[in-house]
Amino acid sequence: MPRERTFTEADVIDCAADLFAVHGYGGTSVSMLTDATGLGKQSLYNAFGDKQALYLQAMECAVARYGAVAARMTAAPDGRTALALFCEHLVTLCASGEPARQACIVSSGLLEGIDDPAIRATLRTKWHATHELLRAHVERGQRDGSIANPTPSATLADLFMSMMSGLRVASRADASPARLSAITHLNLALLDHR
């Protein structure tokens, strides 16, 4: 009779997402995963496949964490408010002082330059999905009048994507909420320029 599992897959994937975000794909060893999850190597492989498969599942988990803020953005009264909510969420994560909350599995994966074609394609897809979310809300704000800056929405989304990556790095040096908020407020102020 097979032994009953004593873990939830969601908890293990959530834990793996944090490890991969902080240490990267190459920097996260199987022993780190087994230590953090409490699973043996064979149990980990039996439940999730190889490291690549677990990484891809962890990436889905990490991206899904943004579902609540994306829903709040959609419910916001205008595009500028939606972007402000995104920035507020990002500052909360970065100011937490917790490396797993400050890090981003997609950003770290892209910076790492992972050679695996499936991982590389998924990382790019996730990056473009976030870019599209921001671009759509910039365009929405330009239509509803809450964003005066006529710069193409894709270019302004690039600015927010760069700010997001930069904020994550800045928070590793100084996670002061006031400092991080000032950076996002400067970005948001650029939306008012004609």
Instruction: Break the chain down into helix, strand, coil percent, rounded to 5.
Output: 80, 0, 20
Q: Is the pLDDT of residue 169 over 80?
A: yes
pTM summary value? 0.91
Q: What is the pLDDT of residues 25-50, one digit of tens each?
A: 999 999 999 999 989 999 999 999 99
CATH number belonging to domain 66-192: 1.10.357.10
- 9-61: CATH, from 3.40.50.1370, 1.10.10.60, 3.40.1030.10, 1.10.3720.10: 1.10.10.60
Percent of all residues in the chain with a pLDDT value above 90, rounded to a whole number: 88
User: Are residues 120 and 114 in contact, defined by beta-carbon separation less than 8 angstroms?
Assistant: yes
Predicted pLDDT at 131: 97
Instruction: State the chain's mean pLDDT as an integer.
Output: 93
Whether pLDDT at 2 is above 90: no
